[in-house]
Amino acid sequence: MPEFEAPLYTQLVRRLGRGPVSFHVPGHQYGRALPDEPFAMFRDIMGIDVTELEDTDDLHHPEGIIREAQQLAARCFGADETFFLVGGSTAGNLAMLLAVLDPGDAIIVQRNVHKSVLNGIALARARAIFVAPQIEPVSGLPTVPAATDIEAALDRYPDAKAVFLSTPNYYGMHVDLAPYAEIARRRNLPLLVDEAHGAHFGLHPACPPSAIMSGADAAVQSTHKTLTALTMGAMLHVRRGRLSMDRLRRALTAVQSSSPSYPILASLDIARAMIAACGPAWLESGMKAASRLRERLAERNGPFAMVEPAVGEACSAVDPMRIVLRDATGRLSGIRLQQLLAEQGCWAEMADDRYAVLLFGPRTTAADADKLVSALDSISAEITGYPPATDAGPGPIDTAAYAAEPEDRIGEPFAIPFMPPAEDETETIPLEEAAGRTAAETVIPYPPGIPLLYTGERIREAQIAAIRRLAAAGARFQGAPDAGMRTIRVMAPQRRGNDR
């Protein structure tokens, strides 16, 4: 058994063992406020759910065990400094942007970023210069803008304060960040990266290098997504030099709770301790299970095909612990496949109108993979009577939907409104009539939480087509007034705003 060093978790357990009497928040008093039944499982974790005390340190001014745990994390993940996040990668994205942007500043940002990035730019009262992503040709899915497009955007807008990219995407497609880091370095600009889905990158020879290893100045990782932290546990890794650390700390204090969850903090400490103690071996079980699924599906002549992206400029590597499936006959949408898998007791990570995404954790087993294969076999037998589809193959449907502008891959500086327009400034119209109008709502299929359309943007036919396709497949649209997306809110004619 390897030796684990988890100072924050160890201290919380040690203090509980001393039988402390609580005259402080939280009110459950180490779980004693709840009866054993039916809450015994929940009571266990309450024992380490404390507040900032003399021996538990302070996330917003760490000098003791939290500082030690963060320093160990920085060493493990190759950063100069690492900050624990209790608000997920969202908190890290917001903090990075608030640390580099002042009101009126512009930032180069890929068009297909998570909604938290748009919220961060809006909170900073800055302007986004959207750059269209590349499209991986096999899947038709967007990844990261070409390095040449990023450089062209910086040539066109030399006053931009930073570059913001997101890789890997939700489907596990990764783009080598080294050329982008070199472009930013030559201009002395920070490269910020949303690496939420790549917390395990750089930790195993089969994984791509992490953003920090590739030269990014700051990268946020959702440690809870692909490692073992509790949900909302994430880390922000930073290289000193091109970011103001004082501004970053102030931003983190502003966007994170003043009462952070100690169980989440302890889980981050434990996730790092497992990697430090076990090394790449910690991921071996999940790696082997994913390989087993690939092998068993390849042996079959069934309807379910694994999406295998073409390695090139738009996708330099694929996450080995993420498998993307589609029904090659076109009988099932990805969303319907996800639903049928759930009925078999196998819960996929996410789905869209074409694909279902399966995430293998560090300790996923061969037995788990076999159960998934059995579920797919059962579904395959069930759908033989389904009517055949008219178009079974994937295609590059998202190219135009995620373009920066119809006539250019690089958009003009755009001020993203944080608050929706007043009701009397808008009207609701049928979606099919919205082309050319200015959106008064942001359209966010969730997951993955990447806006297809944002408030103030001129609506294009390609976006309408993508929204209709997703809605027909049963996708959910976060916060949409019309959940079925048959209608959309637009600016009233006299309030066209950003129409150009």
pLDDT at residue 148 above 80? yes
The pLDDT value given to residue 494: 72
Q: Is residue 247 part of a domain?
A: no
What total of structural domains would you count in the chain?
2
SS3 call for 254: helix
How high is the pLDDT of residue 2? 77
Domain boundary among 364, 385, 406: 385
Q: Does 302 reside within a domain? A: yes
pTM tops 0.75, yes or no: yes
- Are both 446 and 377 inside the same structural domain? no
Domain finish residue from 328, 363, 385: 385
Distances (CA, A) of 229 to 134, 144, 262, 271, 323: 32, 27, 12, 6, 22
Q: Is residue 288 part of a domain?
A: yes
Domain holding 479, by residue range, is 419-495
Note the pLDDT of residue 403.
59
Question: Same domain, yes or no, for 365 and 301?
Answer: yes
Q: Is there a single domain that holds both residue 290 and residue 378?
A: yes
Do residue 289 and residue 372 come from a single domain? yes
- Whole-number mean pLDDT of the chain? 93
Question: Between the CA of residue 486 and those of 114, 313, 358, 387, what are the distances in Å?
Answer: 24, 37, 30, 26
Other CB atoms within a 10 A radius of the CB of residue 270 amount to 22
pLDDT of residue 368: 98
* 291 within domain boundaries: yes
Residue 338 forms part of a structural domain? yes
Q: What is the pLDDT of residue 405?
A: 53
Q: Convert the pLDDT of each residue in 18-28 to its tens digit.
A: 999 999 999 99
Whether residue 205 is contained in a domain is answered as: no
Q: Do 376 and 444 fall into the same domain?
A: no
Averaged pLDDT for residues 143-151: 97
Domain ends where: 359, 385, 411? Answer: 385
Q: Is the dihedral of CA 226, 229, 232, 238 positive or negative?
A: negative
Q: How far apart are CA 56 and CA 346, in angstroms?
A: 39
Under 8 Å between Cβ of 308 and 394: no
Domain containing 427 — which CATH number? Answer: 3.90.100.10
> Would you say residue 52 has pLDDT above 90?
yes
- Note whether 375 and 432 are same-domain residues: no
Q: For 277-337, give the DSSP string.
A: HHGGGGGHHHHHHHHHHHHHHHH--SSEEE--PPPSSS-SEE-TTEEEEEETTSSS-HHHH
Per-residue pLDDT band for 407 (boundaries 50, 70, 90) equals: low
Looking at the fold, whether 381 and 286 belong to one and the same domain comes out as yes
Q: Which two tokens stand for residue 125?
A: 């009262």
| Token pair recorded at residue 461 | 């036919």
Q: Confirm if 217 and 190 have CB atoms less than 8 A apart.
A: yes
Question: What is the predicted pLDDT for the residue at 390?
Answer: 47
Q: Is residue 333 part of a domain?
A: yes
Residues 373 and 427 occupy one common structural domain? no
Same-domain status, 454 and 370: no
CA angle (68, 69, 74) in 5-degree steps: 95
C-beta atoms surrounding 123 within 10 Å: 17
In the structure encoding, which two tokens stand for residue 37, read together? 């039944």
Cβ within 8 Å of residue 345, ≥6 positions away: 371, 375
- In this structure, are 287 and 380 located in the same domain? yes
> pLDDT by residue (tens digit) across 53-70?
999 999 999 999 999 999
Does residue 434 share a domain with residue 376? no
Q: Which residue type does 451 have?
A: P
Domain-located, residue 85 = no
Residue 330's domain is classified under what CATH number?
3.90.1150.10
Which pLDDT does position 400 carry in this prediction? 60
Are residues 379 and 424 both part of a single domain? Answer: no
The yes-or-no verdict on residue 257 having pLDDT over 70 is yes
